[in-house]
Amino acid sequence: MLENCWNQKYHLEIFGCQMNFHDAEKTAGILEKMGFTKADTAEEADVILLITCCVRENAENRLYGHLGNLKPLKQKNPELIIGVGGCMAQLPSVREKIAEYHPHIDLLFGAFNLHQLPDLIMRIRETGSRILEVPGDGEIQEDLPVTRESSFRAWVTVIYGCNNFCTYCIVPYVRGREKSRRPEKILAEVRRLAAEGIKEVTLLGQNVNSYGLDFPAAERTDFADLLGLINQVEGITRIRFQTSHPKDLSDKLIRQMAEAEKVCEHLHLPLQAGSDKILRMMNRKYTRDDYLRLVDKLRTRIPDLALTTDLIVGFPGEEEADFQDTLEMVEKVGFDAAFTFAYSPRVGTQAAKMENQVPEEEKMDRLYRLIEVVNKQAKAANQRLEGKVETILVEGPSPKRKEIFCGRTRGNKLVLFTPPSSGPDLIGTEIKVKIKKGLTYTLQGEVVDREVF
């Protein structure tokens, strides 16, 4: 089967979160194992696969627009295979629309049949028929080939799916229930990565804090235990993870974060809203006081912790007083950064059916007011680092200005600096920089110790 694809090219388009980017790395790995090579543009590809995200409603409309743009390529080259993967492909409504209105799409696939891609592609080649059935659930497939984007940091999925059913979120419906990977499989992968020169691993899951809860109690490795195991892997110098649901952030995990020296001093802890009424309607299962208590515990154990969050404004029923509660929480906690969203209803979720949807104009007004407060805090947090020396993992030239390099602190802050003449040699190494200036989104630094680690 493999030789059939020599000299053929693939093109991937990726939307959404880190889980999708990591799925794309696996997809690329599988295609390359089949003999495909990466195309420079969609025009020269023999297979085009889209890894989609369904978290936001307008993502679906954007997908259809995008599929329309690919039609001329298929008309020009009828042999071209176009496939749609990721969360969106697992939504029945999307499947129906693609089946009916987008005949140039040959293939739908999901997270649970990534490993079948070679077979699916070859079947389409041989029969010319479309394959639009996607399994909604299945076994975790281990040892898939992965073509990683970076030579010094890597994503490692530790848990799939989500059991939480936040009322605004479609993920549990498309990604299924929580399934943890076996700890020995994860450890083996991390050891392999370390042997290949990877320094930083980011452990991924919709809710990593519930890792292991699906194992029998007697043989349970929970997320805190897993961090402890990965902390011992030689060669790995930094461990990150996301995302953490506040209701599952245990004292044991906080202790482990403080004690395991490779676990970075950064936590992304989505608050979503500061009003208890809205948190209840979102089915988040914690209150503002619970969240504040967690922040207190975290900062007591890890004083340098950088804390980031997600915030939604304009959830159905949110009144000005609820929004003020969110602003007040943001002021109280003092986040280092926040992803802010105006609520957008997602068909298939409970919140989309709720009454009292907030008018668009009101949502946008609240969003702008929130961003102003968040940005002020982010800048203040970054300014507090001025004069300090931070260890950064050098990523390479900044995407916008090639003569400037960038790297990340353990707190996950992006530092821009002028590289010494040995600049390229520093990529993937840890160096020390003195923070000269803290801006809203970045820090400006100066190299003080070029000694690589």
Q: Write out the residues near ligand SF4 by the rule CB under 6 A.
A: 162, 164-166, 169, 171-172, 206-207, 245
Tell the smallest beta-carbon distance from residue 174 to ligand SF4 (Å). 10
Tell the smallest beta-carbon distance from residue 298 to ligand SF4 (Å). 19
Nearer to ligand SF4, 207 or 326 (CB): 207
Q: Cβ atoms within 10 A of the Cβ of 445, count?
A: 29
Q: Cβ atoms within 10 A of the Cβ of 360, count?
A: 11
Residue 406 annotated as binding site: no
Nearer to ligand SF4, 152 or 168 (CB): 168
User: For residue 394, what are the contacts with CB-CB under 8 A and spacing of at least 6?
Assistant: 405, 406, 407, 426, 427, 428, 429, 430, 431
Decide: helix, strand or coil at residue 316.
coil
Nearer to ligand SF4, 271 or 415 (CB): 271
Q: What is the DSSP string of 63-87?
A: HHHHHHHHHHHHHH-TT-EEEEEEG
Q: Residues 433, 434, 436, 438: is their CA dihedral positive or negative? A: positive
Q: How far apart are CA 36 and CA 15, in angstroms?
A: 22
Tell the smallest beta-carbon distance from residue 241 to ligand SF4 (Å). 14
Residue 264 annotated as binding site: no
Nearer to ligand SF4, 49 or 166 (CB): 166
Decide: helix, strand or coil at residue 436.
strand
Selection from 252, 255, 284 nearest residue 271 by Cα = 284
Indicate the DSSP class of residue 263: B
Nearer to ligand SF4, 25 or 178 (CB): 178
Decide: helix, strand or coil at residue 40.
coil
Residue 53 annotated as binding site: yes
Nearer to ligand SF4, 46 or 248 (CB): 248
Residue 166 annotated as binding site: yes
* 8 A C-beta contact, residue 29 and residue 147: yes
Distances (CA, A) of 31 to 4, 77, 119, 387, 424: 12, 20, 11, 48, 30
Tell the smallest beta-carbon distance from residue 48 to ligand SF4 (Å). 28
Tell the smallest beta-carbon distance from residue 282 to ligand SF4 (Å). 8
Tell the smallest beta-carbon distance from residue 165 to ligand SF4 (Å). 6
Tell the smallest beta-carbon distance from residue 162 to ligand SF4 (Å). 3
251: left (phi over 0), alpha (psi -120 to 50) or beta: alpha
Nearer to ligand SF4, 166 or 227 (CB): 166
As annotated, the binding site includes: 17, 53, 87, 162, 166, 169
As annotated, the binding site for [4Fe-4S] cluster includes: 17, 53, 87, 162, 166, 169
